[in-house]
């Protein structure tokens, strides 16, 4: 071999990998004040290339940075209408991330998310408009209202489960809507509070600088929601719930091992309700008004569709789903009603084919691939006497496994050699000089184990009567008679034995 | 309380019972929370409208203005609504049950798919027929009876009697037929039913068609009182769902009791002068929240405990 072309091996040969230097110590950046690392670097040994590599074991931070960075960079160059679409996307994504915290981490199927947002938005707006509270304090009033509202809503969640609780929260949203619409002070504006003060100056409202400022605020809001999600999930609260999740059916068990996970669930619910209160205050300021549509079922279903398309219970799913649905709903407004139909069809399609939404598709595909390769392996090894993988671990002498595999392949090869011509050739001349194929087949037969090997029995009183027997293979145990046919010619008996052996070979 | 109020309450209760029992049976036997029940309702209403519109000249030519003509018209209306409802059930079976019934996360995914179907149907109807209300022919005729000094409109009486007959037939079918036995076995214990050789795939289809037909029947009966519109399914869906949950999912008796309670509650709240129709939904939800806090599994919700 003189040419020096090397071919890369492995499943993804094109992937760029860091190569650690063995003598250097890996620099570990930690979050200040904690022992946590920024990124999950791992030095691993690649069994294919036989090299050491430094890989990012959890690549999600990379994708988050790329995606959010792309949104932040590209938006200022967009036309005005698209900037407001991006801001709405950020607000919806923030709500969805916090809702994901309730549904996924806490496991409470609440539909009152928008009710919390709306209630805190309304109270904050009322405080601003009627009591003259300046706008920065709305961002404090909002979470306080959200916290109180969340605490009230959370109370029955331990008692009711699943759908019953979902119904109750849906009822709460409806009650909020009716209550607001019926308020006498708001009847002339159809239940809306307008002229709310905002972080966007009055002169800039709906102008380009105002839109950009609004987008900046919405983007920060999304980052804040993600931070809340991250903190809750990576701290003790989230860990407790992750442990308890495996035993969600068995609450008694989780409590017996010392997890007060009802309390943990309530804590998560209340924390995310307070965060939703911030979103509510922001929402009011962003639009400078708030109207009862925020309590409507359609709005809720749209948000639910976002979570479902992205993947229920995952932060990235909430954001991806919000991006897709907002782009269709707000970006294609000229399409009219069909755009909602499109959203519905995407929702149905994703749910039929994907187990956990679009962001779970990768994991699902890997599971599928693993299952299929397992099935293929099972199909490969199920025939021909070769050892099954489960069986192989039990066999002490590994030589045996290779002998069985060799035998199986040999038999597969010999089976292709057996033809009517070959049988005819043996019939003509059982002993003597044979063709290559027949010689190979006969060699295999001769090498067979003694157990159940066919032999010819020359019957004692007469000279020329033969029958076929099979030896037992056990010392002291006599051979058994295979059938009652007798042959007067030894060549016929040879050929009969041959046929029996061919039959056994083809059946193996 | 005067008799008119009772009749009005019973009228509401019979429609709600038709919707709620469908949702309840479907959940306990097949395991789908059918959010597309409202879509089935709306589609059945539109199917009845289309069919009666097409048949009107034919019937008028064949029978003239006799009583037979209105009978045939009534048959066409109810029949087309029921057939459309059953066909909707088949579509739900093909989309929300068959592809995913043995996959992980099945109940939530089925709920989401039916929800998507509901949204798509409402928007599709809005797109095709526009938001206008469509009136259906009055199959019970106009007029009222005088009973004990109060007047009962024909359509109210017809709705109550029709709903009772349909519910009676459904319950009898569930009670006495072979297929009904299978469905009841699945309602009691789906796994046990599978062990006894009851195929979930085969049994789910008649259940979905039956519940779809019940929604179609409800649409045909309600079309005598209100108009057909693309969003006409939303309120019956919300009411049916809340009543099914109030009665305890899987309990037919609970659903009936819930429907009667809510029917009377709505009639009374609507009749009280200072509350009126605007507070009806408000009062219903308050009532249901109160009941659920006292009995977390609904009125008849002992079944869920035994299912676990």
Q: Does residue B142 register a pLDDT over 70? A: no
Say if residue A406 is in the same domain as residue A500: yes
Report percent pLDDT > 70 for chain B: 91
Report the pLDDT value the prediction gives residue B303, as an integer from 0 to 100: 45
How sure is the predictor about B189, in pLDDT bands with cuts at 50, 70 and 90?
Answer: confident
Please tell me whether residues A115 and A202 are part of one structural domain.
yes
Kindly report, residue by residue over A89-101, the tens digit of the pLDDT: 999 999 999 999 9
Best probe of the A interface among B20, B36, B96, B119, by most A CBs < 10 A, is: B119
Domain that holds residue A338: 297-382
Subunit contact A167:B288, Cβ cutoff 8 A: yes
DSSP string of A452-470, one letter each residue: T-EEEEE-SSSSS-EEEEE
Query: pLDDT, tens digit, for every residue of A450-459?
Result: 888 899 988 8
Q: Does A325 touch chain B if contact means CB atoms closer than 8 Å?
A: no
* In a shared domain, residues A482 and A408: yes
Say yes or no: A269 and A304 in one domain. no
**Does residue A311 share a domain with residue A289?**
no
> For residue A153, what are its two tokens?
């809503």
- Are residue A275 and residue A328 in the same domain, yes or no? no
In a domain, A67, yes or no: no
Residues 6+ apart with CB under 8 A from B52: B73, B76, B77, B80, B136, B137
Same domain, A425 and A372: no
Nearest to A384 by CA among A403, A367, A409: A409
Average pLDDT, chain A: 85
Domain assignment of residue A291, yes or no = yes
B145-154 long-range CB contacts below 8 Å, 24 or more apart?
B147/B3, B148/B3, B149/B3, B150/B2, B150/B3, B150/B4, B150/B7, B151/B4, B152/B3, B152/B4, B152/B7
In this structure, of A79-88, A357-366, B102-111, B269-278, the range with the lowest mean pLDDT score is B269-278
Identify the pLDDT of residue A402.
Answer: 87
Q: Are residues A279 and A160 in the same domain?
A: yes
Question: pLDDT tens across A126-177, in order?
Answer: 898 888 888 888 889 999 999 999 998 888 877 777 777 887 888 888 888 8
pLDDT of residue B307: 44
Total of domains in chain A: 4
- pLDDT over threshold 70, residue B231: yes
Number of domains making up chain B: 1
Identify whether A396 is part of a domain: no
Residues A131, A134, A135, A139, CA torsion sign: negative
B40: exposed, middle or buried (Cβ count in 10 Å: 0-12, 13-18, 19+): buried
CA-based nearest distance A378→chain B, Å: 23
Q: How far is CA A183 from each of CA A142, A270, A280, rounded to the nearest angstrom? A: 20, 27, 20
Lookup: tokens for A24: 């250097």
Interface check B119 vs A, CB under 8 A: yes
Residue A343, sorted as left (phi over 0), alpha (psi -120 to 50) or beta, turns out to be alpha
B294 pLDDT more than 50: yes
Question: What three-state secondary structure class fits B228?
Answer: strand
Do strands B150-153 and A41-46 pair parallel, antiparallel, or not at all (unpaired)?
A: unpaired
Does A276 lie in the same domain as A179? yes
Whether A81 and A47 map to the same domain: the answer is no
Q: Residue A391 domain-assigned?
A: no
* Count of beta carbons in the 10 Å neighbourhood of residue A251: 15
Residues A160, B292: C-beta atoms closer than 8 Å: yes
Q: Let me know: does A183 contact A174? Beta carbons within 8 Å.
A: no
A335 → chain B, closest CA residue:
B127
B285 in contact with chain A, both atoms CB, cutoff 8 A = yes
pLDDT for A377 beyond 50 = yes
Nearest-Cα residue of chain B relative to residue A176: B282
Q: Which residues contact B42 (CB under 8 A, 6 or more apart)?
A: B121, B122, B125, B219, B228, B229, B230, B231, B232, B233
CATH number at residue B147: 1.10.3470
Assess whether A407 and A328 both reside in one domain: no
| ipTM value | 0.84
- The answer to whether residues A134 and A258 belong to one domain is yes
Q: In terms of residue numbers, what domain contains B189?
A: 3-307
Tokens 């359509």 sit on residue: B155
Two tokens at A414? Answer: 């010999």
Residue B252 corresponds to which tokens in the numbers above?
A: 């037919």
The answer to whether residue A69 is domain-embedded is: no
Is residue A289 in some structural domain? yes
Residue A397 domain-assigned?
Answer: no
Q: CB–CB of A385/A409 below 8 Å?
A: no
């Amino acid at each position: 071999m003189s040419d020096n072309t090397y071919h890369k091996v492995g499943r993804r040969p094109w992937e760029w990998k860091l190569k650690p230097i063995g003598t250097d110590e890996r620099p570990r950046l930690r979050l200040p004040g904690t022992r946590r690392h920024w990124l999950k670097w791992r030095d691993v040994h690649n069994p294919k290339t036989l090299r050491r590599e430094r890989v990012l074991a959890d690549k999600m931070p990379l994708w988050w940075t790329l995606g959010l960075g792309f949104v932040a960079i590209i938006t200022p160059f967009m036309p005005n209408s698209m900037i407001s679409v991006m801001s709405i996307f950020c607000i919806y994504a923030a709500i969805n991330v916090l809702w994901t915290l309730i549904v996924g981490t806490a496991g409470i199927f609440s539909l009152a998310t928008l009710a919390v947002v709306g209630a805190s938005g309304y109270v904050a707006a009322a405080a601003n408009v009627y009591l003259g509270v300046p706008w920065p304090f709305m961002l404090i009033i909002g979470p306080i209202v959200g916290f109180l509202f969340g605490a009230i809503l959370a109370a029955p969640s331990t008692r009711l489960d699943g759908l019953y609780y979902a119904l109750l929260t849906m009822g709460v949203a409806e009650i909020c809507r009716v209550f607001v619409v019926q308020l006498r002070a708001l009847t002339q504006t159809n239940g809306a509070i307008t002229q709310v003060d905002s972080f966007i100056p009055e002169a800039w409202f709906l102008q380009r600088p105002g839109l950009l400022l609004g987008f900046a605020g919405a983007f920060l809001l999304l980052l804040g929601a993600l931070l809340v999600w991250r903190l809750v999930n990576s701290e003790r609260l989230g860990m407790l719930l992750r442990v308890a999740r495996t035993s969600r059916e068995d609450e008694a068990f989780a409590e017996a091992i010392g997890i007060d996970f009802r309390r943990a669930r309530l804590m998560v619910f209340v924390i995310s309700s307070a965060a939703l209160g911030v979103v509510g205050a922001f929402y009011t300021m962003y639009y400078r008004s708030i109207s009862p549509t925020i309590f409507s079922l359609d709005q809720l279903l749209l948000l639910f569709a976002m979570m479902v398309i992205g993947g229920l219970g995952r932060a990235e799913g909430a954001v991806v789903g919000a991006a897709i649905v907002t782009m269709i709903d707000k970006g294609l407004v000229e399409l009219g009603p069909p755009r909602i139909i499109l959203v519905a069809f995407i929702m149905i399609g994703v749910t039929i084919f994907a187990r956990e939404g679009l962001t779970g598709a990768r994991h699902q595909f890997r599971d599928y691939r693993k299952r299929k390769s397992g099935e293929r392996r099972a199909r490969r090894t199920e025939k021909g006497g070769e050892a099954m993988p489960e069986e192989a671990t039990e066999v002490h002498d590994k030589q045996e496994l290779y002998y069985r595999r060799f035998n199986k392949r040999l038999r597969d090869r010999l089976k292709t050699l057996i033809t009517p011509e070959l049988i005819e050739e043996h019939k003509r001349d059982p002993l003597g000089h044979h063709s290559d194929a027949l010689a190979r087949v006969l060699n295999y037969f001769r090498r067979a184990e003694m157990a159940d090997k066919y032999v010819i029995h020359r019957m004692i009183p007469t000279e020329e009567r033969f029958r076929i027997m099979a030896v037992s293979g056990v010392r002291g145990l006599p051979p058994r008679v295979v059938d009652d046919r007798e042959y007067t010619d030894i060549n016929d008996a040879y050929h009969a034995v041959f046929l029996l052996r061919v039959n056994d070979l083809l059946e193996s | 309380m005067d008799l008119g109020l009772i009749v009005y309450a019973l009228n509401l209760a019979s429609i709600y019972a038709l919707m709620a029992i469908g949702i309840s049976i479907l959940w306990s036997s097949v395991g789908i929370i059918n959010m597309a029940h409202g879509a089935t309702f709306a589609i059945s209403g539109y199917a009845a409208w289309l069919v009666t519109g097409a048949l009107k000249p034919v019937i008028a030519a064949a029978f003239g203005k006799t009583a037979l003509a209105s009978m045939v018209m009534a048959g066409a209306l109810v029949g087309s609504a029921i057939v459309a409802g059953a066909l909707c059930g088949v579509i739900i079976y093909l989309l929300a049950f068959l592809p995913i019934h043995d996959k992980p996360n099945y109940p939530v995914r089925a709920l989401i798919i039916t929800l998507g179907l509901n949204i798509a149907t409402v928007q599709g109807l809005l797109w095709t027929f526009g938001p206008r209300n469509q009136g259906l022919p009055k199959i019970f005729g106009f007029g009222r009876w005088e009973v004990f000094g109060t007047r009962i409109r024909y359509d109210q009486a017809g709705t109550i009697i029709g709903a009772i007959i349909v519910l009676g037939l459904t319950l009898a079918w569930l009670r006495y037929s072979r297929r009904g036995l299978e469905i009841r076995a699945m309602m009691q214990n789906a796994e046990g039913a599978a062990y006894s050789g009851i195929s979930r795939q085969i049994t789910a289809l008649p259940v979905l068609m039956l519940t779809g037909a019940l929604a179609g029947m409800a649409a045909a009966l309600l079309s005598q009182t209100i108009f057909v519109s693309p969003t006409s399914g939303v309120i019956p869906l919300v009411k049916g769902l809340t009543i099914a949950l109030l009665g305890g999912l899987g309990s037919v008796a609970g659903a009936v009791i819930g429907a009667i309670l809510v029917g009377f509650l709505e009639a009374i709240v609507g009749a009280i002068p200072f509350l009126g129709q605007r507070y009806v939904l408000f009062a219903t939800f308050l009532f249901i929240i109160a009941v659920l806090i006292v009995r977390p599994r609904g009125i008849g919700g002992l079944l869920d405990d035994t299912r676990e």
